[in-house]
Structure 1
Amino acid sequence: MSKIGLFFGPEKGSVHRAAEKVAAAIGTDKVDLVSVNDASAADLEKYDKIIFGISTVGKETWDSEYSNTDWSKFFPEVSKASYDGKVIAIFGLGDHITYPAHFVNAMGRLAKELNKQNAKIVGAVDPAGYEFEESEALIDGKFIGLPLDEDFEPELSDERIGKWLESIKNDFGF
């Protein structure tokens, strides 16, 4: 079995911790954790199964102070890779209290870019049980991936990760 590439960013924060939880639940021997900070399209090409971990801050913050984040540097690399025959899943961190109108938007932006490349994205999540106003990650009535709120709902993350991984395990072969 080939390893799963779990591309995440930023490092040393909530996304990193969530990526480690996802990898541990799958089995760390089956997953390569790859920081997007130093990753390229060539790194994406190495994997047939990819999980992306991304965070969202509010648009007003994103547009100004966070324009040089790990993901802003890596995002152009996403569009350079080929996703033919690959299986993709996404988890995203958001803050439903401070940014309810932008909840996990980065997941939606990433999915839109992947959809332009005809990527097969699995792991949609029903929004029932989540509190938010708006989200670009809602596609056809479901979140395109797994939303997590480590700021205000960290006690729900392990259960949500477990259910999500159960929903994608057949596509990912773990």
Structure 2
Amino acid sequence: MKKIGIFYGSSTGTTQGIAETIASKLGVPASDVIDVSKMNADMVKGYEALLLGTSTWGDGELQDDWYDGVKVLKDSDLKEKTIALFGCGDSESYCDTFCDGIGIIYEDIKDSGCTIVGKVSAKDYSFSSSIAVIDGMFVGLALDDINESDKTEERIDAWVNDIKNHLA
């Protein structure tokens, strides 16, 4: 398996918990699950695969720590890296910007030469709009642990099973 780094931005702890769950399911050591506020270019360089998690705030904004995190990614060589995105949002209160955070990161890295994996069909979600959806697919794992917490575990399991092939 590729050396995997899981970087997350979490203001309330939800995205951190999701990151830790994903790590457990993939057998990624806790030392490789890192708050994005601590991310630097050397860390990025040290991993073959990056799993990047963010929550979405306000009217479709990144979690605060990701603004610097995106700068680190843009300044890093992402060629030949495998990247998977995951994020949390609120599909009821913010149905028109649901999980936009992962869409923002996607837009910032999509032309970097990396391989982005782990797209998820948007058909089983309730929301009105998201920049994270392209051609009916979320660019990564979208979770609503507030209104659809009963689907979180199943969605994580399906996503982890999908990306495992790309992490071998």
**TM-score scaled by length of structure 1:** 0.89
Q: 2:146 is matched with which residue?
A: 151
Q: Deviations over 1:110-138 (max 9, x none)?
A: 01111121221001000011000100101
Q: Within 5 Å, which residues of 2 pair with 1:36-51?
A: 36-51=36-51
Distance 2:142 2:37 in 1: 21
Separation (CA, whole Å) in 2 of partners of 1:23 and 1:12: 19
Aligned partners of 1:147, 1:87: CA distance in 2, in Å?
A: 18
CA RMSD of aligned residues (A): 1.9
Over residues 122-161 of structure 1, what are the superposed CA-to-partner deviations in whole Å (9 max), with x where a residue is unaligned?
A: 0100001100010010123210000011111112111100
**1:33 matched to which residue of 2?**
33
Check if 1:130 corresponds to 2:91.
no
The equivalent of 1:58 in structure 2 is: 58
Task: Flag the 1:42–1:89 CA change in 2: closer, same or farther, 3 A.
Answer: same
The runs of at least 4 aligned residues of structure 1 exceeding 4 Å deviation read none
1:57 touches 1:95 (CA, 8 Å); kept in 2?
no
Which structure 2 segments of 5+ residues have no match?
none
**Shift in CA distance, 2/90, structure 1 to aligned 2, threshold 3 Å:** same
2:90 counterpart of 1:79: no
Corresponding position of 1:161: 156
Equivalent residues, number: 168
Distance 1:168 1:106 in 2: 20
Sequence identity (%):
33
Structure 1, 19-28 or 7-16: larger mean CA deviation: 7-16
- The TM-score with structure 2 as length reference comes to 0.92
Alignment correspondent of 2:100: 105
